[in-house]
């Protein structure tokens, strides 16, 4: 054999080497077996063992099986399973069928940019777009782009808003750019998510130009404090405050702002899903009058990472902003995924969303989201003042914020909870106070998980107080 081709020959052999793929699969199965039972955070040994990856890059090509073994031996123990007792950030878990579908599609290794590159992906993008539009009760002409998460969906939405608002003033931003363009006002509120601030800066609006509106104690915009809205205005609202879970009052705000000619964008990373349920739908009342929405699959819907959607009622604006022109809309009868997202080449991430929605059905979506809400309420009901905790928010959705008697104590208790590894919750600052934030974001959280976690919260407080007492003596 030609010496040059030994690597190619080795890879042909690896492609046929079912043992290599079986090995990966077996390791994955091992992981899954323990993932929903094991302690949440890696042990100190597992973290220490990450040093095994500190190698210089090999000179020569390696052995596939050994590489997969190393990844499993030292990588798997240093993962964090987002199982039923993980309440950090707003990190969703994974629905088994959705994970399995992702697995199959990973072997397909499709490029979702164009129909001609992957007919199955284009088909599923249309199907899921229609399902989402129906599920959220949005107008039929609403389109969806499948992106990596809400950060990217927010950015895509803001570029669509920029295109439309300026186009209405006779300015084509895709050709003429922003320099010298009519000014667009950006109105949002003090509790908006940091990814919106990032999108505002990336889209060239400038964070310094934001007209920032005050919020009430729940973290909702105060409608009476809104400045006069006009047809130069981009108004950004939120479905689901990242700490309190609170929703802006879309019913009061959206219809009138729309009538004044504003573009309304709603960041609903995890909260928009309330609008897809029967029992929590009231939270999103009036949201159908907005123009664009950002929502994640990988948070409350529990698809694997990374999965987000930009939904936009103005197809021409979205496609014009993300593509060079919307003229293809007249000529093409195919779904071209790349026209609806900032990226061109991308994986077929719609597959796992299709599988999640098909598996759950409308009733399953309602049940899963409502049960997360119920578990959050169980947390709030059990963390009482008598036990040394105080819940600071009204639990309208899946988020609970709780504190102890002082900032120092809250922080120490949070650290102790993390150290105990029974469950995992992170911190935040709410109205100037340090808090522990609990996000029930996994289909797997049972009432037993909540009870076990509350026990750990109480134990953490007891241990911290015991330690403090000992220090005083
Ligand atoms: C998580 C979150 C985002 C960012 O979403 P990613 O999927 O992490 O990009 C934006 N807004 C809110 C309210 C969030 O909770």
What average pLDDT does the chain have?
95
How many other C-beta atoms lie within 10 A of the C-beta of residue 49? Answer: 16
Ligand 1, atom 9: nearest CA belongs to which residue?
Answer: 151
Asked whether residue 122 carries a pLDDT value surpassing 80, the answer given is yes
- CB of 149 shorter than 6 A to ligand 1: yes
- CB of 150 shorter than 6 A to ligand 1: yes
- pLDDT for res 329: 63
- pLDDT for res 330: 64
Residue of 82, 221, 299, 401 best suited for mutating to test ligand 1, as the one with most atoms within 8 Å of CB: 299
CA of 193 relative to ligand 1 center, distance in Å: 7
- CB of 248 shorter than 6 A to ligand 1: no
pLDDT in tens, 403-458: 999 999 999 999 999 999 999 999 999 999 999 999 999 999 999 999 999 999 99
pLDDT in tens, 5-36: 799 999 999 998 889 999 999 999 999 999 98
pLDDT in tens, 326-368: 666 666 678 999 999 999 999 999 999 999 999 999 999 999 9
Whether the Cβ atoms of residue 97 and residue 316 lie closer than 8 Å to each other:
no
Rounded to the nearest 5°, which phi and psi values hold at 286? 90, -5
- CA-nearest of 138, 79, 18, 66 to 304 is 79
Whether the Cβ atoms of residue 262 and residue 271 lie closer than 8 Å to each other:
no
CA of 280 relative to ligand 1 center, distance in Å: 20
Whether the Cβ atoms of residue 267 and residue 196 lie closer than 8 Å to each other:
yes
Domain boundaries, the chain: 3-81, 99-357, 368-472
Ligand 1, atom 5: nearest CA belongs to which residue?
Answer: 150
CA of 28 relative to ligand 1 center, distance in Å: 28
For the segment 155-161, the average pLDDT, to the nearest whole number, is: 98
Asked whether residue 241 carries a pLDDT value surpassing 60, the answer given is yes
Percentage of the chain lying above the pLDDT 90 cut: 93
Say what the pTM is. Answer: 0.96
Fold of the CATH domain 368-472: 3.90.1150
- CB of 439 shorter than 6 A to ligand 1: no
For the segment 46-74, the average pLDDT, to the nearest whole number, is: 96
Whether the Cβ atoms of residue 269 and residue 193 lie closer than 8 Å to each other:
yes
- CB of 232 shorter than 6 A to ligand 1: no
Tokens 């509350």 locate to 454
- pLDDT for res 275: 98
Whether the Cβ atoms of residue 423 and residue 436 lie closer than 8 Å to each other:
no
Percentage of the chain lying above the pLDDT 70 cut: 97
- CB of 417 shorter than 6 A to ligand 1: no
CA of 301 relative to ligand 1 center, distance in Å: 13
- For the CA of 152, the closest atom of ligand 1 is 9
CA of 454 relative to ligand 1 center, distance in Å: 26
**Which range has the worst mean pLDDT, 95-109, 276-290, 317-331?**
317-331
- CB of 461 shorter than 6 A to ligand 1: no
pLDDT in tens, 365-399: 999 999 999 999 999 999 999 999 999 999 999 99
Asked whether residue 66 carries a pLDDT value surpassing 80, the answer given is yes
Q: Does domain 99-357 have CATH number 1.10.10.10?
A: no
Distance (Å, whole) CA 440 – CA 443: 9
- CB of 307 shorter than 6 A to ligand 1: no
For the segment 213-242, the average pLDDT, to the nearest whole number, is: 98
CA of 158 relative to ligand 1 center, distance in Å: 15
- CB of 342 shorter than 6 A to ligand 1: no
Sequence-distant (6+) residues with CB within 8 A of 268 are 238, 239, 240, 275, 284, 287, 293, 294, 295
- pLDDT for res 405: 97
Residue of 146, 149, 194 best suited for mutating to test ligand 1, as the one with most atoms within 8 Å of CB: 149
CA of 92 relative to ligand 1 center, distance in Å: 11
């Amino acid at each position: 054999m030609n010496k040059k081709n030994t690597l190619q020959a080795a890879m042909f052999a690896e492609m046929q080497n079912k043992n290599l793929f079986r090995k990966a699969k077996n390791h994955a199965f091992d992981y899954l077996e323990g993932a929903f039972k094991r302690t949440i955070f890696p042990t100190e040994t597992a973290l220490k063992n990450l040093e095994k990856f500190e190698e210089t890059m090999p000179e020569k090509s390696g052995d596939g099986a050994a590489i997969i073994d190393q990844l499993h031996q030292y990588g798997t123990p240093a993962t964090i399973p987002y199982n039923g007792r993980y309440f950090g950030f707003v990190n969703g878990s994974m629905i088994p069928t959705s994970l399995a579908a992702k697995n199959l599609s990973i072997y397909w290794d499709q490029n979702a940019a164009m129909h001609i590159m992957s007919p199955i992906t284009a088909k599923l993008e249309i199907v899921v777009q229609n399902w989402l539009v129906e599920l959220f009760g949005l107008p039929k002409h609403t389109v969806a782009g499948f992106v990596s998460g809400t950060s990217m969906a927010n950015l895509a939405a803001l570029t669509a808003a920029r295109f439309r608002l300026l186009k209405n003033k006779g300015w084509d931003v895709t050709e003429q750019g922003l320099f010298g363009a009519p000014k667009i006002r950006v109105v949002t509120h003090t509790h908006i998510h940091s990814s919106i601030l990032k999108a505002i800066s990336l889209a060239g609006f400038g964070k310094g130009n934001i007209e920032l509106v005050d919020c009430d104690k729940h973290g909702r915009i105060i409608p009476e404090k809104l400045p006069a809205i006009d047809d130069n205005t981009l108004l950004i609202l939120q479905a689901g405050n990242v700490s309190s879970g609170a929703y802006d009052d879309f019913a009061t705000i959206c219809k009138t702002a729309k009538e004044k000619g504003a573009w309304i964008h709603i960041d609903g990373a995890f909260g928009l899903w309330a609008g897809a349920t029967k029992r929590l739908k009231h939270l999103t009342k009036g949201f159908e009058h907005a123009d664009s929405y950002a929502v994640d699959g990988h948070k409350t819907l529990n698809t694997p990472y990374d999965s987000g959607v930009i939904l936009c009622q103005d197809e021409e604006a979205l496609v014009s902003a993300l593509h060079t022109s919307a003229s293809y809309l007249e000529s093409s009868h195919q779904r071209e995924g790349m026209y609806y997202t900032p990226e061109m080449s991308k994986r077929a991430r719609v597959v796992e969303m299709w599988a999640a929605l098909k598996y759950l059905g409308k009733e399953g979506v309602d049940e899963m989201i409502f049960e997360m809400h119920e578990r959050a309420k169980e947390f709030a009901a059990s963390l009482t003042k008598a036990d040394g905790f105080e819940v600071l928010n009204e639990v309208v959705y899946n988020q609970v914020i709780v504190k102890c008697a002082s900032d120092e104590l809250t922080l120490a208790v949070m650290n102790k909870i993390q150290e105990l590894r029974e469950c995992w919750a992170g911190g935040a600052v709410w109205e100037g106070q340090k808090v522990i934030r609990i996000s029930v974001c996994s289909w797997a959280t049972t009432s037993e998980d909540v009870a076990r976690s509350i026990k750990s919260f109480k134990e953490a407080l007891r241990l911290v107080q015991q330690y403090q007492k000992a220090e005083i003596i």
